Amino acid sequence: MEPQIDIIWKLLSALGVGLLIGIERGWYGRKEDEGDRIAGIRTFSLVGLLGGIWATLIPYTGEWILGIVFLGFVSLVVASYVFEIKVKENEDIGITTEVALLLTFTLGAWAALGHQIEALGSAVAVIALLSMKPVLHRWLQNIEMEVIYAGIKLLVISVILLPVLPNQGYGPWDTLNPYWIWWMVVLISGLSFIGYILVKYAGQDKGTLLTSIIGGLASSTAVTISLSQFAKQIKKGKTYIFVAGVLVASSIMLVRVFIEVSVVNRSLLDPLWIPLSTMLVLTVLCVIWLWIKSENDTDDENPTLELGNPLQLPTALKFGALLAVILVAATALQEWFGDQGIYLLALLSGLMDVDAITLSLSKMAQTEITNYVATMGIVISVISNTLVKAGLFIFWAGWQKSIDLLWMVGVISTGGVLSVWLFV
């Protein structure tokens, strides 16, 4: 690229950063009088361009000049804020716009230093945060202190523990790696907490299928129990949507498996995506069929989910213990009985939890077992867990209302096993 064109592109990117943030700030303050606004679209655009220009001058002036200019700009913003406080003595004055101005200068300079995509992406993240003020404040107002305390405790323990935990194997066959085990505990707790927050604060009145999707991130078992209890109370012809909800919640388990394997052992995704995709596609087709059948005869009532806070320290410790037991058991069974031992453990582990066996087999696939064995073991555990959910639905709703669920689970499970056997 020609030097002149390169400079123009950098400056346009810096200007674009200012325009993006300025549009949001200008729209937010559109009802204020012209003299009452600290900065609008023009000011933010100029600030972004200002950062970009001084960054492009670094080859001629030295890097120190950018720091000097930034400090000068900070002084200007602070002075403006102090003046605003004096003018509006009795009003609550925030510093969001001032911080946004400093970010705009910084991102404009970053764009001009050759990181245009990163700077523009960061600008998009900034305007997303700025525009979500009502949503974020509503969530904070609804959040319970026990959730905050539990999250802080787990976070503090993790931050303190992870750096000092030994990153090497202990115990039988050097299977237990304290650092890795606790890192997996943090991963699973985080995934579950996302679902917990969505269900608790996004609301459960969004429809059965949407509730099943966001609830499945936290606990597909809890979703299954809730839906089966609703199905028990209504006529047979109106259970289709609840059966679909169970399948949707179970399909989220496939997404969790994909995320977990991506973190632990990305090379395992190459064979694993085929059965996971097959099972997901079959699930979606079944859900569409059930949704069409339920379109004219469903109730307006939606399930109420009872979810425990996944960031509780006892919950995290229990999962860590379960993961450690499965790691040792998987290695032992593989040593004693070969691949068949892995499949047996996957079947039994899936009755309780898919996350632990998925993480264990993903780790073992790095050195101890083949990708085929790990893939088959994960698919078996997913099928085992899905059958458990079908059993729970039968227990609560009864056989007559579970027929559709049973044959669909059979089709999905068969598709998963066949896809491993034929294509992996």
Check residues 376 and 39 and name the one with the higher pLDDT: 376
* Per-residue confidence (pLDDT) for residue 58, from 0 to 100: 87
250, 231, 252, 229: which is closest to 240 by C-alpha? 231
Residue 323, judged by CB atoms within 10 A of its CB (0-12, 13-18, 19+), counts as: buried
pLDDT at position 375? 92
- Angle (CA) 291-297-298 rounded to 5° is 70
In three-state form (DSSP H/G/I as H, E/B as E, the rest C), the secondary structure along 222-237 is HHHHHHHHHHHCCCHH
For 194-236, the pLDDT digits (tens) are: 766 666 665 555 566 777 777 777 677 777 877 777 777 765 5
pLDDT digits (tens, 9 = 90+) for 387-423: 888 888 888 888 877 788 888 888 888 888 888 887 7
